[in-house]
Amino acid sequence: LSTRGNRHDRPRIGIMGGTFDPIHNGHLVAASEVAWVYDLDEVIFVPTGRPVFKLDKKVTNAEDRYLMTVIATASNPKFTVSRVDIDRPGITYTIDTLRDIRTQHPDAELFFITGADAVAEIMQWKDAEHMWDLAHFVAVTRPGYSSPEGVRLPEGKVDTLEIPALAISSTDVRRRAEHNEPVWYLVPDGVVQYIGKHGLYR
Ligand code: ATP
Ligand code: MG
């Protein structure tokens, strides 16, 4: 799967799904590393609509999360942001994300990027058995989460990639903002400013 230096006939597109409440430097490093190692032409960040595993939690409105994602990714020529999940009504399922991106990029090879914590839940995702036909899966390491041992992932469908460890979570960024603690250098500067300007997480 990891084929730096080879020639590719089809465009190679990464998909970085997340709640991004807010987007932080851990997300950006994960996308950048996978783009480098897998020789991707583009990484599409896809903020979720209603995340299925966070139905009991309060999530910031989609437009704020989308705009912070645009701000955070704007300076990278390979990074783009898609509205497919926030514009689709109802709960967000990754299978629908993959089908929508596939429809928009019929000739591309797709790589879905996920952290070690999310991959542990992957077999519970809706229509998991159909996801493998739509994309390769790359699970990146994340401090505090070991690679899932109890989970039976299908042979050869999910790669694991060790990336520089950033012990950053959106939960911690929200908690810091709520208590007026600094979030500088955990999230991009523009996101620090956006949180302050719109009084998010207060
Ligand atoms: P929250 O604390 O609200 O759950 P989060 O920091 O986990 O936020 P998400 O939007 O839930 O961020 O994560 C989106 C994707 O990014 C998931 O696949 C997650 O595993 C991955 N991810 C998040 N933070 C990191 C990190 N620091 N290193 C590697 N992967 C990460
Ligand atoms: Mg999370």
Q: What is the pLDDT of residues 59-91, one digit of tens each?
A: 999 999 999 999 999 999 999 999 999 999 999
Ligand 1: nearest atom to the Cα of 51: 11
- Quick check: bond before 22 cis, omega within 30? yes
d(CA 7, CA 115): 27
pLDDT at residue number 121: 84
Model-level pTM greater than 0.80? yes
The range of the structural domain enclosing residue 130 comes to 12-165
* pLDDT single digits (tens) 9-57: 999 999 999 999 999 999 999 999 999 999 999 999 999 998 888 888 8
Tell which one of 15, 16, 19 to mutate to probe ligand 1, the residue whose CB is within 8 A of the most ligand atoms.
Answer: 19
d(CA 108, CA 10): 5
Does the residue 92 lie in any domain? yes
Q: How far is the CA of 8 from the centre of ligand 2 (A)?
A: 32
Structural domain includes residue 112: yes
For residue 193, the one-letter residue type is Q
- Let me know if residue 193 belongs to a domain: no
Minimum CA distance residue for ligand 1 atom 31? 115
Look up the CATH number of the domain holding residue 49.
3.40.50.620
Q: Does the interface ipTM go beyond 0.90?
A: yes
Q: Is 202 contained in some domain?
A: no
- Domain count for the chain, please give it: 1
**C-alpha 169 – ligand 1 centre gap (Å):** 6
172 belongs to a structural domain: no
What is the percent of the chain with per-residue pLDDT over 70, rounded to a whole number? 97
